[in-house]
């Protein structure tokens, strides 16, 4: 089933990323239908995070296009892409450690704030109302990820799994339409991974998201993704529904065959 | 804590400060009053540097430069044309310098505004630099300002500087401006914009991913910080009544930096407390510069000795209590109430 153009929220066309002599990603072309959950898998060093960095503006692709909502956006700075509706989390968690859990989410919300700090200086009613709204909205988001009780804690003091969920809440606060999750299940136990799968589906429904995730945990990948792209040494070696990928001989040799996956 | 009660307590605190100031005015001698004035100005300077360095993570060493700008602008505006006639001995002042005049409040404000403009102008290229490079570049900026001040005699009277600047900066002006500084910076940091600044300090990459235009917010923080550095410089000029380029050496920035680090990077309370403590200590330590007679040994006074002692103190702080007096904690009415209720329990 080929998605029609208006159903495609994001598309990459022949993305290349070259670091000196190393071609980290070559000709990455993928389509992401609206509302889908897609997985990007491959062995370590295959170029998955590099793809994320190109899509979110942290790297400027050497060549190729990123088309988001029908518009070419490659090479724009990260904050502009975030404003356009692309949000992400990081493989190595990057929270604002000295800030509280609530403040972390509020920072994500800042992007959609209309009043500025000069108005807070003189207590304009509009700014007070908006700060209140932001707080309330961010508390709702914390509720969604189950961290409302910890709103006043310092982000650094949270347990690992909660930090991952806070990163997602923070990304949701920017009101994205396309969410990229970089190894959301890393470091989670089987029960937590199980919960994560349900959670990813829930937020897709609740926030009308299209989700792209990098994951090594095959149970999560096979359980939640509707479509997979497989990278190896920067090359796209396969793409298709999880069942097909599971039995694809190229994937098995490159990824599953030679060593045990980091399940 | 209820909002109403917080406001009430703030008003009360300001009232008490006012009372203390009128007592100080009545009973303190000139030397003590001078120290109180310096405390207020040092608080302004420390708060402004803490905003830039402690809360936004921009390692800036350009404070002396912004202070110099504020000091010169304010002085030019409050001296009378007659005074300037007498002052500019080597070469006459430019006409616009000669004729510029403004009341004290406007002059201080102008000092801050011009410093802020310079802050924005140097910030645009420099804030793209990372940590250490920014420090070096801003240090260079401050040095440029000083050298320029030395070499435009028709604007700054060159190395002679200004003398007899009207001494308008009394306790009320200085503490008034310190309160304004505190209020603006507290409100800025309490707003969501403040959260964004702290986010940039904590993790710039994550801030970018959260849609923060990092450069814009760095520039905002740097400009507001420069503004208050200019205000501090302006008040200092009127307090000391004499300025010259040599006054704005790196040691001036170093003093402010010392207060900020000792108080705690990222704590406004720390800056206020350290502003008081260090200003007083710096005066007490003048003892070590006097000749001393210890058990029959007489040591000659060594000028600059207190800075040696102080630098040692800073090294000790960095070695044993890197987060400073307060770390990133703040003293608020809420936390005070917490302490008291805990004691009761």
Its ipTM equals 0.89
CA proximity to A110, closest of B90, B216, B232: B216
Whole-prediction pTM:
0.90
- What CA–CA distances, in Å, run from B341 to B7, B153, B337? 20, 61, 6
Count of CB pairs separated by less than 8 Å, A with B = 100
Are residues A94 and B203, on separate chains, in Cβ contact within 8 Å? Answer: yes
Say what the pLDDT of residue A161 is: 86
Q: Is B179 on the interface with A (CB under 8 A)?
A: no
Print burial letters for A6-27: b (CB count within 10 Å at least 16), e (below 16): eebbbbbbebbbeeeeebbbbe
* CB-closest option in B187, B196, B205 to A107: B196
Q: Which structure tokens are listed for A172? A: 């949701």
- CATH number for the segment(s) A1-85+176-263: 3.40.50.300
Domain boundaries, chain A: 1-85+176-263, 97-174
Query: What is the least distance, in Å, from the CA of A251 to any CA of chain B?
Result: 32
Nearest to A11 by CA among A53, A73, A57: A73
Contact assignment for B205 to A90 by CB distance below 8 Å: yes
CB atoms within 10 A of CB A235: 17
Residue ranges in chain A modelled with pLDDT below 70 = 1-6, 255-263
pLDDT score of B345: 45
Work out the number of other CB atoms within 10 angstroms of the CB of residue B164. Answer: 13
The conformation of residue A236, written as its DSSP 8-state character, comes to: E
| Per-residue pLDDT tens over the stretch A208-252 | 999 999 998 889 999 999 999 999 999 999 999 999 988 888 888
Closest to B162 (Cα-Cα) out of B96, B245, B219:
B245
pLDDT at B338: 75
**What pLDDT, in 10s, does the model give residues A115-134?**
888 888 887 888 889 989 99
Residues of chain B with pLDDT under 50: 345
B130: left (phi over 0), alpha (psi -120 to 50) or beta: beta
Task: State the pLDDT at residue B226.
Answer: 97
Query: In whole angstroms, how far apart are CA A82 and each of A57, A86, A214, B56, B267?
Result: 9, 5, 19, 21, 31
Residue B213 at interface with chain A, using a CB cutoff of 8 Å: yes
Considering only CB atoms, B192 lies closest to which of A56, A97, A113, namely A113
CB contact under 8 A, A107 and B210: yes
Rounded-to-integer distance, Cα A191 and Cα A185, Å: 11
Give percent above pLDDT 70 in chain A: 94
Retrieve residue B22's tokens: 């009128």
């Amino acid at each position: 089933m080929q998605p029609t153009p208006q159903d495609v929220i994001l598309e990459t066309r022949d993305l290349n990323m070259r670091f000196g002599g190393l071609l980290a990603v070559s000709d990455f072309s993928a389509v992401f239908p609206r509302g889908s959950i897609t997985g990007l898998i491959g062995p370590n060093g295959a170029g998955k995070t590099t793809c994320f960095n190109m899509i979110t503006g942290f790297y400027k692709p050497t060549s190729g296009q990123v088309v988001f909502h029908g518009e070419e956006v490659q090479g724009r700075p990260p904050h502009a892409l975030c404003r356009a509706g692309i949000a992400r989390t990081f493989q190595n968690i990057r929270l604002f450690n000295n800030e509280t859990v609530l403040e972390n989410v509020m920072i994500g919300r800042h992007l959609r704030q209309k009043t500025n700090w000069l108005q807070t200086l003189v207590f304009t009613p509009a700014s007070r109302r908006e700060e209140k709204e932001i707080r309330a909205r961010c508390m709702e988001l914390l509720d969604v990820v189950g961290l409302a009780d910890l709103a006043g804690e310092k982000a650094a003091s949270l347990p690992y799994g909660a930090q991952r969920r806070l990163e997602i809440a923070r990304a949701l606060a920017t009101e994205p339409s396309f969410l990229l999750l970089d190894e959301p299940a890393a470091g989670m136990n089987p029960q937590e991974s199980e919960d994560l799968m349900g959670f990813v589906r829930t937020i897709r429904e609740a926030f009308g998201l299209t989700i792209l995730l990098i994951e090594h945990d095959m149970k999560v990948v096979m359980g939640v993704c509707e479509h997979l792209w497989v990278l190896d040494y920067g090359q796209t070696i396969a793409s298709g529904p999880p069942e097909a990928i599971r039995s694809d001989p190229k994937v098995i040799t490159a990824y599953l065959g030679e060593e045990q996956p980091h399940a | 804590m209820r909002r109403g009660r917080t406001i009430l307590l703030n008003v009360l605190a300001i009232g008490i400060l006012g009372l203390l100031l009128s007592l100080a005015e009545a009973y303190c001698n000139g030397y003590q009053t001078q120290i109180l004035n310096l405390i207020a100005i040092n608080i302004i300077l420390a708060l402004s540097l803490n905003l830039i360095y402690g809360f936004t993570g921009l390692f800036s060493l350009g404070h002396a430069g912004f202070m110099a700008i504020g000091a010169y602008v304010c002085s030019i505006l409050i001296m009378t044309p007659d005074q300037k006639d007498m002052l500019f001995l080597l070469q006459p002042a430019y006409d616009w310098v000669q004729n510029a005049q403004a009341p004290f409040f406007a002059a201080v404000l102008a000092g801050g505004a011009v410093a802020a403009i310079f802050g924005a102008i140097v910030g645009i290229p420099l804030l793209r630099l990372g940590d250490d490079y920014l420090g070096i570049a801003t240090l260079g900026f401050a040095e440029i300002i000083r050298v320029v001040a030395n070499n435009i005699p028709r604007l700054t009277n060159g190395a002679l500087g200004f003398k007899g600047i009207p001494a308008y900066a009394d306790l009320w002006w200085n503490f008034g401006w310190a309160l304004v500084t505190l209020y603006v910076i507290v409100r800025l940091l309490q707003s969501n914009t403040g959260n964004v600044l702290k986010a940039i300090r904590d993790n710039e990459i994550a801030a970018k991913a959260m849609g923060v235009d990092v450069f814009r917010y760095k520039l905002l923080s740097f400009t507001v910080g420069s503004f208050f550095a200019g205000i501090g410089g302006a008040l200092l000029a009127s307090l000391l009544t004499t300025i010259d380029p040599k006054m704005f050496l790196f040691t001036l920035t170093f003093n402010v930096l010392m207060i900020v680090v000792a108080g705690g990077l990222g704590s406004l309370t720390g800056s206020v407390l350290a502003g008081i403590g260090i200003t007083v200590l710096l005066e007490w330590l003048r003892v070590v510069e006097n000749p001393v007679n210890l058990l029959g040994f007489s040591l000659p006074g060594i000028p600059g000795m207190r800075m040696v002692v102080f630098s040692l103190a800073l090294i000790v702080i960095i070695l044993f209590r890197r987060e400073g007096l307060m770390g990133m904690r703040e003293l608020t009415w809420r936390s005070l109430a917490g302490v008291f209720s805990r004691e009761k329990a």
